[in-house]
A and B are shown apart, each in its own frame.
Chain A
Amino acid sequence: MAAVSPLLVTRDLTRRFGGLTAVDHVDFELPAGEIRAIIGPNGAGKTTFVSLVCGRIQPSSGQILFDGADITGLPAHERVKRGIAYTFQITSIFPNLTVFDNVALSVQRRLIDKGGRMTARDLEAGVAEALARVHLTDRVDMTAGKLAYGHQRLLEVAMGLALKPRLLILDEPTQGLSDAEIDSFIALVREIAREATVLLIEHNMPVVMALADRITVMSNGAPLAEGTPAEIRANAEVQQAYLGSTADV
């Protein structure tokens, strides 16, 4: 093993749903500081895989290590406290609360964990900082459900950012965004990656190629290939399993 131990490791990770093995004995390593993209056709097990990592579902067997510690048995909220943040594939915000309250829930979680007294000023500063990074500052008092769709996606990212995670998992973040929004989103993820490791599930190939340091291709619940964007592009097997099937898009 390398001198620097990876931030996230899975060993033999498996999840079965009845007769279907959605995630099939996956050994995966993610070094700290990397932007890693997971790509693969629909039903390849990408979302199930990251759901196992963040604790939304429990594995059938296998092990998950985060920063060297075994987190396989920890409930989701404990994993978030250790620094794993997850943004949902289907936008999951608090639509009836204001934008402020949505982000404040993340900020107060972090401030409570740090211990000590949480002041209203700390809370407002934390919210302002997170909203500034996604350029939603002027919408702070709006009801979140009334935001445009693209802005709701950004709000969700802000909620993840406000937790100051060590590993940020983005599940198809650009789905439904316009081209202009995607461009600013790419810039945002690059900025996030300066402080956090990013694990990205994405169907949009230009986004993947622009962002990822390395790419893991999944197919039928297991990694098919792993490498730099250039290597993946040149990989015939991958083209067969994935790129080929979407070449007409």
Chain B
Amino acid sequence: MRTDTTGRVVALHLAVIAVLVALLWILPDYHRGVMARVLVLSVFAMGYNLTFGYAGLLSLGHAMFFAAGLYGAGLAAYYPGWSVLPSFAFGIACGGVLALVVGFLALRTTGVAFMIVTMMFSQVFYLTTLYYTTWTRGEEGLVLGTDLRTVSLGAATLELWEPTTRYLVAVGLFSVVFLATMAIARAPFGRILIAIRENEERMRMLGYDVHRAKLKAMVLSGLFCAAAGAAYALLFGYVGSSFASIQYSILPLLWVLLGGAATTLGPLFGTVFMFYVVDVTSGYTSAWLLVVGVALILLVLFFPKGVFGTIRERWLKWLP
């Protein structure tokens, strides 16, 4: 009979989380700060991976979902002065609603048209943040003071700007989305998404409402990306238009491709790798983009399905 891999898979994912927690004591201050940022961005990548990797929807507009969370949480904290938790929840809700509306319209298209439509929506979002510069301060952005980033839970207070807390909160958010992705990938819904990617026509003739399943994936993806954006605003205190620009729609695509599309571990690996390649090389040379380019070419040559996609194909078939 079929071997049950649940134990192995869960153990692996918990081990990854344990390593990330342990890094708190191992990493020097600087790298702890970098990793907190990378973990939040890899939540963004995991959200992107859900639609791009699993469901095969190549969106070029996911920056809008990240930015919806960023602005939803940031503006709610900055202007009406909402406290951290309602701001965070509001940011996530913004991303979910935006994904529902954009998904409903954009999913009427496929392939190249879908790429263009999502990109256009994202550009509209980006230009809107610039248009209302009096409120958003455009590229310059808003800075959330430390008082806006302090959670009080009864007697205890959680200072999100304090490095140790910030790192642990980032690990916490990462873990939730990481385990959720693992659960989705192994659930019937994950199988449906993968099958739609593989053979959409067949899925329709098996009685699946393909449009609806894709829309569900878009909304989930929007929620994950917005959670990353909202957390970014509240942990790092910066809310700026650059996060809504096209660059931030392309980056998660690169991270996911590098780490391995439709793998749970790929987005984390891809984000960490890209971040450090840029970080290290830009310290040595002004031609760091060249190094990044070469690194990408080598990876595509030797790991065409991304690092974890290739590992799964060659060795560990049970990786979700």
Which residues of A are in contact with B by a Cβ distance under 8 Å? 54, 56, 75-77, 80-81, 85-86, 88, 92-97, 100-101, 104-106, 108-109, 112-113, 118, 123-124, 140-141, 159, 163
Question: Is there an interface contact between B207 and A80, defined as CB atoms closer than 8 Å?
Answer: yes
Question: Contact partner of A54 among B192, B202, B205, B210, CB < 8 A?
Answer: B205
Q: Which 10 A-B pairs have the closest CB atoms?
A: A80-B207, A94-B198, A108-B188, A92-B202, A109-B207, A76-B204, A77-B207, A77-B209, A81-B207, A86-B205
Question: Is there an interface contact between A97 and B194, defined as CB atoms closer than 8 Å?
Answer: yes
Q: How far is the CB of A102 from chain B (nearest CB, A)?
A: 8
Question: Is there an interface contact between A163 and B207, defined as CB atoms closer than 8 Å?
Answer: yes
Question: Is there an interface contact between A95 and B207, defined as CB atoms closer than 8 Å?
Answer: no
B-side contacts of A106, CB under 8 Å? 206
Question: Contact partner of B2 among A77, A86, A94, A141, CB < 8 A?
Answer: A141
Question: Is there an interface contact between A80 and B206, defined as CB atoms closer than 8 Å?
Answer: yes
Give Cα A140 to B3, complex, Å: 11
- From B1, which residue of chain A is reached at the shortest CB distance? A124
Majority SS at the chain B contact face: helix
Question: Is there an interface contact between B202 and A93, defined as CB atoms closer than 8 Å?
Answer: yes
Give Cα A75 to B208, complex, Å: 10
- The proximity string for B residues 65-100 relative to A, scoring 1 for CB distances below 8 Å and 0 otherwise, is 000000000000000000000000000000000000
Question: Is there an interface contact between B195 and A101, defined as CB atoms closer than 8 Å?
Answer: yes
Question: Is there an interface contact between B206 and A100, defined as CB atoms closer than 8 Å?
Answer: no
- The proximity string for B residues 207-227 relative to A, scoring 1 for CB distances below 8 Å and 0 otherwise, is 111100000000000000000
Give Cα A232 to B11, complex, Å: 65
**B199 interface residue, CB < 8 Å from A?**
yes
A-side contacts of B203, CB under 8 Å? 105
**B31 interface residue, CB < 8 Å from A?**
no
Known: A100-B2, A141-B2. A105 touches B206 (CB 8 A): yes
Give Cα A80 to B208, complex, Å: 8
Q: How far is the CB of A131 from chain B (nearest CB, A)?
A: 12
Give Cα A198 to B205, complex, Å: 16
B-side contacts of A56, CB under 8 Å? 201, 204-205
- From B198, which residue of chain A is reached at the shortest CB distance? A94
Question: Is there an interface contact between A105 and B191, defined as CB atoms closer than 8 Å?
Answer: yes
Question: Contact partner of A109 among B199, B201, B208, CB < 8 A?
Answer: B208
Give Cα A77 to B202, complex, Å: 10
Q: How far is the CB of A159 from chain B (nearest CB, A)?
A: 7
Question: Is there an interface contact between B205 and A80, defined as CB atoms closer than 8 Å?
Answer: yes
Q: List 12 A-B contacts (CB under 8 A).
A: A56-B201, A56-B204, A77-B207, A80-B207, A93-B199, A94-B198, A94-B202, A95-B198, A97-B195, A100-B2, A106-B206, A109-B208
Give Cα A118 to B201, complex, Å: 25
Question: Is there an interface contact between B199 and A92, defined as CB atoms closer than 8 Å?
Answer: yes
- From A128, which residue of chain B is reached at the shortest CB distance? B1
Number of chain B interface residues as a range: 10 to 19
Known: A105-B192, A108-B191, A140-B2. A92 touches B208 (CB 8 A): no
Q: How far is the CB of B153 from chain A (nearest CB, A)?
A: 35
B-side contacts of A104, CB under 8 Å? 188, 191
Question: Is there an interface contact between A92 and B198, defined as CB atoms closer than 8 Å?
Answer: no
Question: Is there an interface contact between A77 and B208, defined as CB atoms closer than 8 Å?
Answer: yes
Chain B 1-33 residues near chain A, CB threshold 8 A? 2
B-side contacts of A112, CB under 8 Å? 188
Give Cα A81 to B207, complex, Å: 6
Give Cα A100 to B203, complex, Å: 15
Q: How far is the CB of A249 from chain B (nearest CB, A)?
A: 30
- Which of B188, B202, B206 is packed against the most chain A CB atoms within 10 Å? B206
Known: A94-B199, A141-B2. A76 touches B205 (CB 8 A): yes
Give Cα A108 to B209, complex, Å: 13
Chain B 294-309 residues near chain A, CB threshold 8 A? none
Q: How far is the CB of A67 from chain B (nearest CB, A)?
A: 16
Give Cα A123 to B186, complex, Å: 13
Question: Is there an interface contact between B2 and A101, defined as CB atoms closer than 8 Å?
Answer: no
B-side contacts of A163, CB under 8 Å? 206-207
Q: How far is the CB of A147 from chain B (nearest CB, A)?
A: 15
- From B201, which residue of chain A is reached at the shortest CB distance? A92
Give Cα A124 to B191, complex, Å: 14
- From A76, which residue of chain B is reached at the shortest CB distance? B204
- From B210, which residue of chain A is reached at the shortest CB distance? A77
- From A140, which residue of chain B is reached at the shortest CB distance? B2
Give Cα A86 to B188, complex, Å: 22
- From B205, which residue of chain A is reached at the shortest CB distance? A86
Question: Is there an interface contact between B206 and A96, defined as CB atoms closer than 8 Å?
Answer: no
Give Cα A76 to B200, complex, Å: 12
Give Cα A85 to B202, complex, Å: 11
Question: Contact partner of A101 among B191, B204, B205, B208, CB < 8 A?
Answer: B191
Question: Is there an interface contact between B206 and A159, defined as CB atoms closer than 8 Å?
Answer: yes
- From A165, which residue of chain B is reached at the shortest CB distance? B207
A-side contacts of B204, CB under 8 Å? 56, 75-77
- Which of B194, B207, B210 is packed against the most chain A CB atoms within 10 Å? B207
- The proximity string for B residues 175-198 relative to A, scoring 1 for CB distances below 8 Å and 0 otherwise, is 000000000000010011011001
B-side contacts of A94, CB under 8 Å? 195, 198-199, 202
Give Cα A109 to B202, complex, Å: 13
